Amino acid sequence: MRILLTLACLALTLLVWSPPNLSADIPRLDTIYQNSTQFDGKEVSIIGTIRAYKEKVNKDREILGCHFWLEQGNKMVFVHANGFKDYGEKMRVVVTGTFYKLKEVPDYTLDNAIDAKRIEELK
């Protein structure tokens, strides 16, 4: 009898439990852009699709990292990713890194950019 009660409790738990929704905890680009001062210099995670993917190589043709635009709906953010490679156009990913409202690079200043610390492909 005790085993049946334990199995019934386990079955009920499995019926009502649902895995956490990853995207519920991740802000949308709309929210970040509307509150860019609040997010400036903070770590964020963004789900999106890679566009305009380019790998950075040294003079020996070794890949040093990559940069790309991460598209979410009709919004895009520039992603700079040192040490990352083997991603590609149209891959769906979660990028985690530091968001900058303004990012100074040698030749220009970018509005809304992320220095990636982690990139995970979504399947």
The domain of 92 spans: 22-121
Looking at residue 13, its pLDDT comes to 46
Full pLDDT tens readout for the chain, 123 residues: 566 555 444 444 444 444 444 445 688 899 999 999 999 999 999 999 999 999 988 898 888 889 999 999 999 999 999 888 888 889 999 999 999 998 887 787 888 999 999 999 998
Contact call for residues 85 and 65 (beta carbons, < 8 A): yes
Contact call for residues 103 and 78 (beta carbons, < 8 A): yes
How many domains does the chain contain in total? 1
Non-local CB neighbours of 26 within 8 Å, separated by 6+ positions: 45, 46, 47, 94
Looking at residue 5, its pLDDT comes to 52
Residue 114: name the closest of 76, 83, 57 by CA. 76
Looking at residue 1, its pLDDT comes to 59
**Is 3 a domain residue?**
no
**Is 12 a domain residue?**
no
**Is 17 a domain residue?**
no
Looking at residue 93, its pLDDT comes to 96
**Is 14 a domain residue?**
no
**Is 70 a domain residue?**
yes
Looking at residue 2, its pLDDT comes to 60
